[in-house]
Structure formats: structure tokens, C-alpha cells
Amino acid sequence: MNRAKTSRSEAEHARIEMEINQILATEEELLPSSGFASAVMERVRQEAALPEPIPFPWIKAIPVLLLAGGGIVWSVVEMVRLGGPGLRLTGLSQSAQSWLTNPLANLSAAQARPVEQAGWVALALGTSLVSWLLSRRLAGRGGLL
């Protein structure tokens, strides 16, 4: 009796699915409105008339970006170093803390001086970049260049 009930319900399911199938398969076709193709071609012609977009100058930008990135990293390290004992660097080993708080201590005095000067230059460049980006943003112009 149970088997008959199950097969009846399976047949019912199959019938409903077939019905859904038929409804979805027989959709009335829409005809495009009369001006559709002309409207598309109008937009295509407008696009074709535009000058080619200028590609982003990656070759020029990469050194600048690397320099700016280096400057930012250096400035962070400098801030940590100058902040020294006041900063708590939890989760770092003793050697990593000492490297971060005073990286120049591991270099000789002759090596340390030019590196320190380069650091200040990088910091100045980074600051300039940030202020330039900020001014562009305030002026409402997106993008990097």
C-alpha cells in the first residue's frame, strides 16, 4: 500500500515538473523595439569617435611607487625607533624588537650616516606624496595621475 502511495506521489511530482518544464520552455518572444539597433549603433559611433584611452604609465610610475613605499616603511621604522621605549611591541621576539627600535645599532657609524640621511629624504618624499594625494582628493579628482 505504501509502495503504491509512493509511486503515485512520484508520478504526481513528475507530472508537475513536466508542467513547469512546458511553461518555462514556451516563452513568448519579445521583438526588439524599432529604434533599438539605431540606438546601439549611435552609442557605438560615439565610443568609436572618442580618442583611445591613454594607458597608465607603469614604467614611469613603478620607480616612484617603490620609492614612496620605501619612504613610508622607513618613516614607520623611524617613528618606532624614535618612540623607542614608549612603544610596546607585543608579540615580537627580543631580537626583532631591538632591530625595529634601533636598526642602525647593527650598522657601523660610517654606514649608518648615509642610510639615516636617505631615510630622511624618503620620509620627505613620502610626506610630499601623501600631501599631493590628499590635495587631489580634496579637489575632487580621483585616480593617481
- Site residues (CB under 8 A) for another protein? 13, 15-17, 19-33, 36-37, 39-41, 43-45, 47-48
Q: Closer to another protein at the Cβ: 48 or 54?
A: 48
Q: Closer to another protein at the Cβ: 4 or 25?
A: 25
Q: Closer to another protein at the Cβ: 16 or 62?
A: 16
Query: In angstroms, what is the minimal distance from the CB of 67 to another protein?
Result: 35
Query: In angstroms, what is the minimal distance from the CB of 31 to another protein?
Result: 7
Query: In angstroms, what is the minimal distance from the CB of 10 to another protein?
Result: 12
Q: Closer to another protein at the Cβ: 43 or 137?
A: 43
3-state SS track over 67-87: HHHHHHHHHHHHHHHHHHHHC
Query: In angstroms, what is the minimal distance from the CB of 96 to another protein?
Result: 44
- The grid coordinates listed for 128 are 610630499
